[in-house]
Amino acid sequence: MRRFSIILLIALVSCSPKGYWIDSDSYRAKKPNYKLQNKSFSQSKLVDTGSMYLDVDSLITADGKVLKSAIGFDLDGRAFLNSYDTSSLAFQNANSNTITTAQQVGYYRVDGFEIEFERLTPYDYGQYILWTGRIKGDSIVFTYRNFLNKDRTYTFIKSSLPKE
């Protein structure tokens, strides 16, 4: 019986969610304990680092500002995500697709058709959010769990950069 209990405990620990958990006392996401090393990030032709991905409800204005949300991917494994307060992503050079300012900066990893943000800066109420997405053609469908323990889904579509 003791051997069965030990095997069951090992199985439960190995099946626990990776990187994201909810504190049952406060229902707030806790900061994942990641060791972010750029050498561990892989690139994929499935993610176009020369493009910006916009939320389907986003809008690029005539002066190049992004309303709502957008994601840009850098070659060194950084991803830039603006917030929902109508702030904008600024581009230093539209030809090299270098994103210079964004409200949130995270790191991403690509594995086949899956993409994952390993860390984002605090999103809301001191939360750290783990975004996991599936690449579908020219779009990425992201899912994350909010502080109420409910899944949210957002679709980002590839967009051309605003001209300088």
Degrees, nearest 5: CA angle 41-64-93 = 50
pLDDT, greater one: 108 or 121: 108
Mean pLDDT along residues 94-107: 49
The region of weakest confidence among 34-43, 90-99, 101-110 is: 90-99
- Answer CATH for 19-159 from 2.40.128, 1.10.1760, 2.70.98, 1.10.10: 2.40.128
How do the domains of the chain map onto residue ranges? Answer: 19-159
* 44-60 tens-digit pLDDT: 556 776 667 878 777 76
DSSP 8-state secondary structure symbol assigned to residue 40: G
Q: Which residue has the tokens 């990425």?
A: 140
As given in the structure block, the two tokens for residue 22 are 């909810």
Asked if residue 110 lies in contact with residue 44, where contact means CB atoms within 8 angstroms, the answer is yes
Token code pair at residue 122: 């605090």
What is the predicted pLDDT for the residue at 113? 78
Q: Per-residue pLDDT averaged across 70-85, rounded?
A: 66
Amino acid at 61: T
